[in-house]
Structure formats: structure tokens, C-alpha cells
Amino acid sequence: MTEVTAETDPTLEAIADKTKLALRRLAKSVMIITARQDGVNYAMAATAVDALSMEPPSVLACVNQNASIHPVLLKAERFAINILSRAHEDLSHHCGGRVKGEARFEIGSWDHDGEVPVLADAQAAILCRSDAHFEYGTHSIFVGKVEDVRTHGVIDPLVYIDGRYTGVNALMMG
């Protein structure tokens, strides 16, 4: 059976383009996913992270299979999701592709004492045991069972929408 792709069905390309336009209207908090393998730290800025369940407490993270952290997450026993504040915009850029490898940890206040690096001043850090993963299209979906949570400071999320960073108006947050 022949796989249907944008090359074999041009309407798929049009639908993909429309989907991208729609998703530009979806505001998402910005996070940095971290993991460690053989003593080397890995980090990736992400927005495709969400709650999965509270019984058991779990989250999911969608990671492109071409990302340098992808093979690490496939083998990792643990990973962390660091939820960024507006003060972390530079760090998000730093971990979003411009800088590679351990150099991603040259800025920011990182705690390297545990099994995975954690951003000490993240709004929240969710420490997870890797519980499952599966592939879908160009990405893998990683399920993390929450083992610990750290919070810091006031709620002031870094938000990504329509290709740019912003924040949430404090008046809207009560």
C-alpha cells in the first residue's frame, strides 16, 4: 500500500499549511526539557508539553525525532520539564537551536546535583520518570510519571504565540 503524503496528495499540504496557521493562534507556555546521558546534559526549548493525567500524575512531551535530545529521551530513565518565566526569554532562545550540547547550560541557574539538570529559578520544574513513548509522524510522544515538583517565584509565564514571545497580563491572573 502506498503511503499518502503531501507529494502524492496536494490537499494534505494545504491542510498542513492551514493547520500551521491555526496553531499560530494557540498560546503555549515555554518550557525546557532536560535529560542526562553518560554524564552529558541535554536541553531543548519546547511548547508541545502538557498534562496527561492526575491518576497517576503524569505529563507528555512531544519531541521531533531530529532533535538532539530525542535519542537521549528514548533511553532516559528520567527527564525534567522546566516551565519558564518571562525573565527566561534569552534562555529559551539559547536552548531553541542556536546553541548546541552542554553549551546550552552556560546561561541560567542550573542545579546539576540530581539525576537530571533542573533550572533552579524555573516557575516550576516537573521531575519525571520516563514511563512510555511512541512515535507519531515526525515526532515521538514521551510520557513522564511525575516524581517531584519544584516551584519558584510568582506566576509570570513566558508564552509563545504567533511566532513570538509574550507574557500574560497580570490583571488577567487575578
Separation between Cα atoms, residue 29 and residue 14, nearest integer Å: 27
DSSP 4: P
Q: How far is CA 65 from CA 60, 109, 120, 125, in A?
A: 15, 28, 28, 23
Q: What is the CATH number of the domain that holds 114?
A: 2.30.110.10
**Is residue 102 assigned to a domain?**
yes
Domain that includes residue 49, residue range: 27-161+169-173
DSSP 165: E
**Is residue 134 assigned to a domain?**
yes
Q: Is the dihedral of CA 116, 121, 127, 132 positive or negative?
A: negative
**Is residue 14 assigned to a domain?**
no
The pLDDT assigned to 171 comes to 45
Write the CB contacts of 91 (distance below 8 Å, at least 6 apart in sequence): 32, 84, 107, 108, 119
**Is residue 60 assigned to a domain?**
yes
What are the strands of the beta sheet with 40-46, ordered from one edge?
40-46, 31-37, 78-83, 124-136, 139-151, 57-64, 49-54
The pLDDT assigned to 110 comes to 97
Average confidence score pLDDT of the chain: 92
Residues of the chain with pLDDT under 70: 1-8, 169-174
Number of domains the chain contains: 1
Q: Are 165 and 92 in contact (CB under 8 A)?
A: yes
**Is residue 6 assigned to a domain?**
no
Q: Are 27 and 161 in contact (CB under 8 A)?
A: yes
- SS3 of 24, please? coil
The pLDDT assigned to 174 comes to 52
**Is residue 55 assigned to a domain?**
yes
The pLDDT assigned to 29 comes to 96
The pLDDT assigned to 27 comes to 93
**Is residue 43 assigned to a domain?**
yes
